[in-house]
A and B are shown apart, each in its own frame.
Chain A
């Protein structure tokens, strides 16, 4: 398999980035493109990449593209893949932002966003449940989430909250013998 040039990577991921709509379902599309059609990653490599991308910060899809670029062409490939994938989203968002801040006060736009705001609430609720199902395994996780919420209500700085939750896991899991199943492997 000859490795694609950074430019080829850039344009391949540009195309993916322009068509990547709607969360988890997109992952299957990404896999069929990268593993099936192009043969840039093996099934095993894709799986390993997913495991990695789920434990580190960042948007999973962007990270998977970066990972693919990295596997094929090192840091240059990673950069080409990431830039290509994010560029369409960036252009679309900049354009929409410009429209929003210029026409945002029109009655029809206000009406539009009144409804879309309600949809955003539903999306956040859905994200709570989805993320909760994969991370709140065992009472320790539930306790930590509840403590975090309490701390937020008491106006504790969110950095302290997240760091506290991270550090508290060590005594919690050590002395109560949590299942060693990692978040990454427990998911999908």
Chain B
């Protein structure tokens, strides 16, 4: 059963890379890229945001910073993980097919890592060097996040109203107000004010 599981996983991976290639080469490129980013999203998944911003928005220009920020906002009102923002990116690039492909691609690497690492975790835990390197990667991600924060700020905070709204939302987040409540209130205020 274990061998069959691995065979299925391998098949999913191969078809993710090569399947879309015959359909649309852009989709194959997107899949490969999102698999790479999905494999790098250490620290709980939020780090996928700076990765997409660097690769898909800045380098490839497949969507604008503004659109990406809107996609992240949509990711707050959907249930589940923030990594689902990749679905939005896929939809932007190749419609429903892109959404399906990018969702599979972004979650697939971490799935493989989990299934591969789970039986050996006792040993991995004791490898000091691995622990250090993961800490290093997470520290590097803080730098990336600050960088992206500035980019997002430049795109979103355009007048005193948006600054005020961001400040209010931040205070509410620190006070542990429910995220859905914050987004709902912000939505209401936006429609009235802007």
Contact = CB atoms under 8 A, between A and B. Distances in A.
A164 to B, nearest CB: 7
Nearest to B134: A55
Nearest to A187: B44
Interface in B37-93: 38-47, 49-51, 54-55, 66, 69-85, 87-88, 91-92
Chain B residues touching A, majority SS? helix
Contact of A145 (B51, B130, B142): B142
Given A67-B118, A162-B137, A178-B132, 14 more contacts: A56-B110, A58-B107, A59-B41, A60-B45, A76-B4, A113-B69, A118-B166, A118-B169, A125-B149, A126-B173, A127-B49, A152-B143, A159-B40, A184-B131
A90 B103 contact: yes
A78 to B, nearest CB: 5
Given A22-B179, A117-B156, A148 B144 contact: yes
Interface in B5-21: 5-6, 8-9
B74 A100 contact: yes
A187 B75 CA distance: 25
Given A86-B80, A145-B143, A116 B117 contact: no
Contacts of B82: 59
A113 B73 contact: yes
B113 to A, nearest CB: 5
Contacts of B152: 117, 120-121, 124
Determine the interface band of chain B, counting residues with CB < 8 A from chain A: 35 or more
9 contacts: A51-B125, A57-B39, A114-B190, A117-B66, A117-B70, A123-B169, A124-B149, A127-B49, A148-B143
Nearest to B46: A127
A22 B180 contact: yes
A97 B100 CA distance: 12
A60 B118 CA distance: 14
A167 to B, nearest CB: 7
A123 B148 CA distance: 12
Given A97-B99, A122-B169, A115 B88 contact: no
A169 B127 CA distance: 14
Interface string B100-121: 1001000101110111011001
Contact of A19 (B79, B111, B129): B79
B91 A116 contact: no
A53 B115 CA distance: 11
A168 B47 CA distance: 20
Nearest to A168: B136
Interface in B137-178: 137-149, 152-153, 155-158, 162-163, 165-167, 169-170, 173-174, 178
In the A-B complex, list the 3 residue pairs whose CB atoms are closest, starting with the nearest. A75-B5, A115-B190, A58-B110
B131 A183 contact: yes
A55 B131 contact: yes
